[in-house]
Amino acid sequence: MPAEGPADVRVTHIGGPTALIEVAGWRLLTDPTFDPAGRTYAFGWGTSSRKLTDPALAVDALGPIDAVLLTHDHHGDNLDDAGRGLLPSAGVVVTTESGAVRLGGGARGLAPWATTTLDGPGRPAITVTATPCRHGPPLSRPIVGDVVGFALSWDGQRHGALWISGDTVLYGGVRQVADRVPIGLALLHLGGVRFPVTGPIRYTMTARDAVTLIGRVRPHTVVPVHYEGWKHFRQRRAAIEREFATAPPDIRDRIRWLPIGTPTDLRT
């Protein structure tokens, strides 16, 4: 069982998949996207999307970053030009194995269930475990590329690890998290992404998928992210909330919507 004791985490949802996580002297950034709204980004194989919303925090107002947790580097809604520009100033970049090769500069690449450790003077060590993702239907990995999530563990967590799901559909690899890592706080990437060129195929979880996953993983707190700000999301907050409203109370009570751009204290 996780050790009892204080484990407060401050999370600022900047927009899309981008969140600033502050804990025990660490400042960690997920999937940096800081370009202004208006541009259309190509994702490959005829898919694209337009960014609809500016980031809630400008990159030059972000402050120092100890580590970037990058679920994947090859889609502009997870790493855009401004986000890419800040990577050299981050202490550590953790991403997929293939992404680390593309990025260079000492980026740490992790396969699913591999780990790395963030160490710093006067701060607790954080173990980062890569968790499985599949960013589309079966057999789509050669097209959509590698993606990972991240489970972060450190001494003093009350309920379990902090989990960033990454862009993924609901499948067996994601369900493994329930069997391998107790989760306190989960940042779930939602949005039910679809593209006209590929019809009904989905590339990220829907709210219904999230309800199923929450029921299996049983995190203490769930924060939805990556459901807004881009044209390719087919299930935005209002639709997600309607689905969540029909979930059992013990699942509904775990869900916490963060105001975009406002630092919010949570517990792992």
- How far is C-alpha 137 from the chain's CA centre? 19
The amino acid present at 39, given as its one-letter code, is: R
| Res 128: pLDDT | 98
Q: Distances in Å between the alpha carbon of 173 and those of 30, 84, 168, 204?
A: 21, 28, 10, 14
Alpha-carbon gap, residue 50 to 38, rounded angstroms = 6
Rounded Cα gap, residues 103 and 83, in angstroms: 13
Assign 4 a pLDDT band (cuts: 50, 70, 90): very low
Domain boundaries, the chain: 10-258
- Give the list of residues 6+ apart from residue 56 with CB closer than 8 angstroms, or none: 12, 13, 14, 15, 260, 261
* Average pLDDT of span 163-188: 98
pLDDT in tens, 207-254: 999 999 999 999 999 999 999 999 999 999 999 999 999 999 999 999
Q: Does pLDDT of 64 surpass 90?
A: yes
Question: What are the phi and psi torsion angles at 86 (to 5°)?
Answer: -85, -15
Please tell me the CATH superfamily of domain 10-258, with its number: Ribonuclease Z/Hydroxyacylglutathione hydrolase-like (3.60.15.10)
pLDDT of residue 7: 46
Mean pLDDT of 99-109: 97
pLDDT tens profile 195-209: 999 999 999 999 999
Taking CA atoms, 54 is separated from 18, 24, 31, 119, 130, in Å, by: 12, 29, 15, 33, 29
Range in 21-25, 129-133, 139-143 with the lowest mean pLDDT? 139-143
- Percent of the chain past pLDDT 90, that is, above it, reads 93
Q: Tokens for 191?
A: 């949005």
pLDDT value of position 94: 98
Please determine, for residue 61, whether its predicted confidence score (pLDDT) is greater than 90. yes
**Can you tell me the mean pLDDT for 69-93?**
98
The pLDDT value recorded for residue 37 is 98
Q: Which of 167, 174, 166, 171 is nearest to 137 (CA)?
A: 171
Per-residue pLDDT, 99? 98
Is residue 46 pLDDT above 90, yes or no? Answer: no
**242-267 mean pLDDT:** 96
Q: Does the pLDDT value for residue 1 go beyond 60?
A: no
